[in-house]
Structure 1
Amino acid sequence: MKKILVVDDAAFMRLTIKTMLDKNGFEVVGEAENGRKAIEMYKMLKPDIVTMDITMPDMGGVEALTEIIKFDPKATVLMLSAMGQEGIVKDAVIKGAKGFIIKPFKEEYLLKALSKF
C-alpha cells in the first residue's frame, strides 16, 4: 500500500483527495495546508508519493517541491494545478515533479496518474 502525503491549502480539496485515495487502497499518512508544512511532514513521514497543490499561502507548491527534491532527489511528487497554470507546471516538472493533473479532476484521473508510480 502506497503512503501518500496530501498537500493543498483548501481543506475541502484535501478531504476530497483523501476520500478518493482511502477507498482505492492508498494510505494517506498526512496532510499539509502549505508548502512549509509539507516539507516538514515529508521529512518526518517519508511518504511514497506527495500530491502537491501549486498555489498556496506561506509557501507555494513549486518552492516546496524544490526543497523536498533537495532533501530526497528520488521523491515522487504529483503536482495538482488549476487551469491556466501550464507554465508553472512545466517549471515544476523541470524541477523534479513526476507528473501533474489539472483541477478539477475526476477520481479516475488521479488514480491513473498515481498508478504510474
Structure 2
Amino acid sequence: MEQQKPKILIMDDEEMVGEITCQMLGFLGFEGVHVYDGLEAIREYALHRERGTPFAAVIMDLSVPCGMGGREAVGKIIAMDDSALVFVSSGYSNDPAMVNYREYGFSGVIGKPFNLETLKDLLQVCA
C-alpha cells in the first residue's frame, strides 16, 4: 500500500500563488490543496478531519481583499483543532500579525514571495 503524502492546505486569493505553491509542495513530497479564502479553508480543514485525512499544516494568506483572511480564520481552525500547525503568509513583513504571529494564533511565518528553500524550511516540522 502506497504511503499517503502529508497534505498541506494553502489559502491564498491569488490562483497563481496557490498553483505554484501546490507544485512546490509536490516537489517537496507533500500534497497541496488550494482554497481562496478563510471560510473555504475552515470548511476544507473540518472536512478532512472528519474523513480521517487531516492536514499536516495550513499556510494562510494574512489578508484577502474579498473574503475572510488568515487573521480571522486561524482562530476558528485552532478552536477546532488546538494542535493545528497554521502558518501566516504575507508580503507585509512588518504587519503586527507577521511580527508577533504567536499572539494571533499562528505557529510560524513565511514572507511572500517565498521560494522552495523557505517553504522546505518552514515545513520541516511536518515531514
TM-score of the two chains, using structure 2 as the length reference: 0.84
**Residue number in structure 2 paired with 1:38:** 41
Aligned 8 A contact 1:65 1:92 in 2? no
Aligned 8 A contact 1:4 1:50 in 2? yes
Whichever residue aligns with residue 65 of structure 1, its letter is V
**Which residues in structure 2 correspond to 1:94-113 (within 5 Å)?**
94-113=103-122
Count of matched residue positions in the alignment of Structure 1 and Structure 2? 116
For residues 95 and 83 of structure 2, the distance between their equivalents in structure 1, rounded to whole angstroms, comes to 23
Secondary structure, counterpart of 2:71 in structure 1: helix
Amino-acid identity (%): 32
For residues 25 and 113 of structure 1, the distance between their equivalents in structure 2, rounded to whole angstroms, comes to 14
Aligned 8 A contact 1:9 1:34 in 2? yes
**Residue number in structure 2 paired with 1:53:** 61
Secondary structure, counterpart of 2:82 in structure 1: coil
For residues 83 and 99 of structure 2, the distance between their equivalents in structure 1, rounded to whole angstroms, comes to 19
For residues 92 and 34 of structure 1, the distance between their equivalents in structure 2, rounded to whole angstroms, comes to 19
Say which is worse superposed, 75-84 or 31-40, in terms of deviation.
75-84
**Residue number in structure 2 paired with 1:75:** 84
Secondary structure, counterpart of 1:105 in structure 2: coil
Gaps of 5+ in 2: 49-53
For residues 124 and 103 of structure 2, the distance between their equivalents in structure 1, rounded to whole angstroms, comes to 21
More strand by share: 1
Secondary structure, counterpart of 1:12 in structure 2: helix
Structure 1 runs of 4+ off > 6 angstroms? none
CA drift of 1:67 comes to: 0.6
For residues 118 and 93 of structure 2, the distance between their equivalents in structure 1, rounded to whole angstroms, comes to 18
* Higher alpha-carbon Rg: 2
RMSD: 1.4
CA drift of 1:96 comes to: 2.1
**Residue number in structure 1 paired with 2:51:** none
Gaps of 5+ in 1: none
1:7-44 CA-to-partner distances (Å, cap 9, x unmatched) read: 1000000011001000111012x221000110000001
